[in-house]
Structure 1
Amino acid sequence: MTRTRSGIAGWRSPVVIWPAGLVLLTTSIAVATTIGPSDLGPSDALSVIVDRLGGPDSGLTRIAESIIWDLRLPRAVLAAVCGAGLALCGVVLQSLLRNPLADPFVLGVSSGASTGAVMIVVLGVGAGSVGLASGAFLGALFAFGLVLLLGMVAGGTTERMILAGIAATQLFSALTSFIVFVAADAEQTRGVLFWLLGSLSNSSWRDVAAVGAVVLIGTVACLLTAGSLDAFMFGEDSARALGVSVLRVRIALLVVTALVTAVIVSTSGAIGFVGLVLPHAARAIVGTRHGMLVPTATLLGAIFLVWVDTAARTMIAPQELPVGVATALVGVPAFVVILLRRGRRT
């Protein structure tokens, strides 16, 4: 029994899990880049990357290079970054709000982003100076500001924040539906609905840089407050007794998760279940200490979304399935399994 436990503890250590996760993530991105109608292999992808970084010529045609560098590789990397960010936000919100069903959209950020995007596409608000992504980002920030204001006015407790987020979600969802119903034509409605269901089809290296920078900053911030997140799991009173500035830390982390979610939604639309399911999977592997949990969840989220997006763009080719639909199809059964396993343990 002792050997078994020590063996499990050994493979669950960060020395094993994190390097293995990074290797698996890198391999997933490389393989996902080669999947599609064009006859390209991992060696082709590697040669193009080396070429673009200043190495020898890849030897491929310009079309093949463009398929890898301009289409598939930025999409795979953006999927990884978005998956990591959504899983990160899920970890923080589930611990901060002490709610195992909390996910990055519980604060109404996704609904606000949807409304902002619809106002740009359908109503033409700010057209020419504000794009769809910028409109979604502004809408997400406005929604979060409203939630934060309502939550603070109502007392600033965890329960009040959740209720304010639910109210904002319903409000902005209704506004989005109203705008589409009243002002959109059939083509606009189809385009908006596809984007709202999640899509990485328009990925670019600019998106990768913007989202990656925000997710990196958010990850560092969460790692620096890992001790406070551990304390929050025992309740606000316990966290306060341990010297945590409850209100300040909560607001700071809520702002971080809102910014990360807003940036992700503004580039990829609403992608659900990643922030809900992957934190539970990470806890099953490494436990609840956030110093281990945060990096593990981000790696799992990145790997998960790379493969789900790959399946979404290939399973019904030449059409493309919205990635939010694919994550729901995979995430719901996975979440049911997690719930059943947790129920057996209790």
Structure 2
Amino acid sequence: MQTMPSKTQMPQKLILDAHWDKRQNLILGHAALGGGDDRIRLAIFGSQGVHSWPVYWEGIQRAFSDCTRLNVDEVANDCNECAQYWECLTVSLGAFLHEIGHSLGCPHQENGVMLRDYVSMNRKFLSEERNCVRTNKGRWGPVLTKDEPGWNRLDLVRFLYHPAFAVPGDFGDPEFRPPELRVNQGMRLPPGVDGGPNFVAVNENRLQIISDTGTYLIEIHVGEWSRLHYEYLPKKACNGLGAQRFIELDYDVLQKQLAPQWRGKTVKLEVLCAGFCQKSIDDLQKFLRERSSPIPGFGGHMVRKSEPLGGNNGNDIITHLPPNKRISMIRVTSAPPF
């Protein structure tokens, strides 16, 4: 079974022949993954928990309250978190939502659906929780907002700029949804638009981030998770600064803004642009140190290595030019990736 939105080319698939083999203690025909590229993104999940899902909207409350024990001779107790029907519904539906998050570009996060907070997703629908075998906790309530799971803030910022979540009012703000980003090309930019981001190391302390479509999120990772981020929300919709075409980061300021326990450690930078592009720097301090030394450029000018000026990885090409000839033009032709 699959659903395929016509505009975003982002299908979700359930593998309907997934089934439990008790003899092997294994769910067969199962997959759980999400992701993709700039042409198509996909979320896939096995159907082994679908038996616990409600079949209509009015059945949601009953399904999330069903304490019937699962028969492990027939179906799986996945991760030992699905001992009852309502637990099975919460975990299987929540895990599928987690994979949809990956297809929308979300990585694993420190908390929220993109970790495993979805195991309490039932609290989004009910004012009280029934007895839970997983937590060995009896029936309790009322469920407060602080008890509910949710999406990490970084996920929400991604969704805000994702074309799948666009609403008609967004298109009245050309800075938020510019015309060149409305073309349905599988989240590809039209010719002539550089999505970026491009990085230029000014010196060992300052980094310039340049993007034609504008940067809307910068994540500063130390260790596994983002410990600090800068978000540039739409001006009209969120009273923010809007996606920025030019940003200059100061490494010393960044270090001061990090919590004390994360300072002085390797910083990984993740930069997301409104043109569906994302790029990372694995070690920001090393990048600034190696890329900030000036080198001779055209016409005797000194330049610094960057994506536009020799900073990308690749193979050098040596070309022999005819002697005693005046060069009037150099044209480079490249085939598009497939």
TM bin, normalised by shorter chain, reads under 0.3
Higher-strand-fraction structure:
2
Greater RCO structure (CA 8 Å; 6+ sep): 1
Normalising by structure 1, we get a TM-score of: 0.25
Normalising by structure 2, we get a TM-score of: 0.26
Give the number of the structure whose alpha-carbon radius of gyration is greater: 2
Higher-helix-fraction structure:
1
